Structure 1
């Protein structure tokens, strides 16, 4: 068993994507994160670290990424591979903000080993669930959906900042948020719902990778909630993605029963639970 490191997303993509494509829904977060970096639309304050695990024949049997803004994403990493990966990342990325992985023993074991090696403490901060669309059910609300345009950035940028704070993501400047959104607008990956001439909800999605595409972020400002806008726009984006022939998935916060109910009504069903730990 060997563990290899690289900071080159293109090299990592070439090496591990044949392995990850075996389950593009489960591995969606890692696949899309790396693919966007290869496309040049992800920016980090420090270079990310990409980790691949290989068996004795050289075959890839695990893949992990560590980025400054999201920490360590280990997703489907088998539990038996946690010790060597934790040891390597404790040296290569001792300042990681956290780890996110399956809710089984793997994520907890990683947090314990990494903390022991780095001398840092950890606490649970996220409980999430990956869902995949099964039978689509249309949702309706007053107003109508449309693709976001560059002219919407003044409105959606503060909405995106509020979303980031609400879900506990690392703070970035409004300029960084605007750049992130503009890149998605240019690639037709951001939608808005308008009612009475006002943008009341925004929904984004990733680009498909190996026939799977993930919806998110989804955000409605508090003053516009309770009117079905997020349900209707998420459903419309989902319908279009499914019509393109892709498997559609999304991630929800398990502590938010409202969002989980909304997505279940659209036709999403649970695939796997995940847990996140923050390092301090």
Structure 2
């Protein structure tokens, strides 16, 4: 039983394809990041089956896909995350944080012997039967257009700050990609102004993930986020996506309740931990 690592997405797919496809929902973060990650890894059992995967993206922050606790603990041993030190990364660095399913993240963090603290607890949801919001919010949904990019880029910066992360200076390229591919939807209020947004990732192995659900503070409390989320979720289903997913912050009971009213059902809990020493 061993971990193997590569910087080649093609080599990673060839080795781990069966495991990635078998549980695409639980591997959503790995599937989304694997083509741009600096490092990818897979855990192979004695019989040759792959039962764990990970990506390192951004640098210093491994994302663990579906894996056993045994595989997670093995990452902290020599021969685990490459880098010359137990739990290390290329160049001898040690991870600054790790995220993934709660049991695997805790198993890895404890096995490193380093001090760590939980920073974010998330829940992964999968859409069952899509249920429109009731009562329906005023206004209508539409696909974002090129003229919306400056507004959506500004909202994205606000969204990143609101979830407690350090925003980049400019999100123009980030949102342009989503707008040009028709993956970002806006909700217009009764006066025709955009008042909320939601986006969906590209579909990979039948799964796609809703993200960037954001309503400016002055527009909240009117159901606009529910309208935008329902619209982008329906668009993904209509486009042939088999599994529509999203993450929620467990510290936000409002969003958790909203998504469940729309038909999303819990899959598994996720945890991000930061190493404090």
Which interval holds the TM-score relative to the shorter structure? 0.7 to 0.9
Question: Is 1:131 paired with 2:131?
Answer: no
Alignment map for 1:147-158 (pairs within 5 Å): 147-158=143-154
Aligned to 1:216: 211
1:211–1:68 distance in 2 versus 1, CA, 3 Å = closer
Which of 269, 272, 279 lines up with 2:268 in the alignment?
272
Task: Tell me, yes or no, if the aligned pair for 1:48 and 1:66 is still in contact at 8 Å.
Answer: yes
Specify which of 106, 112, 115 is matched with residue 114 of structure 1. 112
Partner of 2:9: 9
**1:56-102 Cα distance to aligned partner (Å, 9 max, x none):** 34432210111126822113221011122233222225353311122
TM-score, length of structure 1 as denominator length: 0.87
Matched, 1:92 2:89: yes
- Once the two structures are superposed, residues 179-238 of structure 1 have per-residue CA deviations (whole angstroms, 9 ceiling, x without a partner) of 111111122211111222322111111112222221112111111111100001101111
RMSD, aligned CA: 1.9
1:181 aligned to which of 130, 153, 175 = 175
Q: How many aligned residue pairs are there?
A: 263
Q: Kindly tell me: are residues 13 and 186 of structure 1, through their superposed partners in 2, closer, same or farther at Cα, counting changes over 3 Å?
A: farther
Instruction: Give the whole-Å Cα distance in 2 for the aligned partners of 1:238 and 1:168.
Output: 25
For the 8 Å contact 1:205–1:213, the answer to whether it is kept is: yes
Match of 1:168 in 2: 164
List structure 1 runs of 4+ shifted beyond 6 angstroms.
Answer: none
CA–CA separation in structure 2 for the residues paired with 1:266 and 1:183:
27
Where structure 2 has 5 or more consecutive residues not aligned to the other structure, the ranges are: 82-86
Q: Does 1:199 align with 2:194?
A: yes
Cα gap change, 1:210/1:69 in structure 2, threshold over 3 Å: closer, same or farther? Answer: same
| Structure 1 alignment gaps of length 5 or more | 38-46
Contact 1:70-1:169 at 8 Å conserved across structures? no
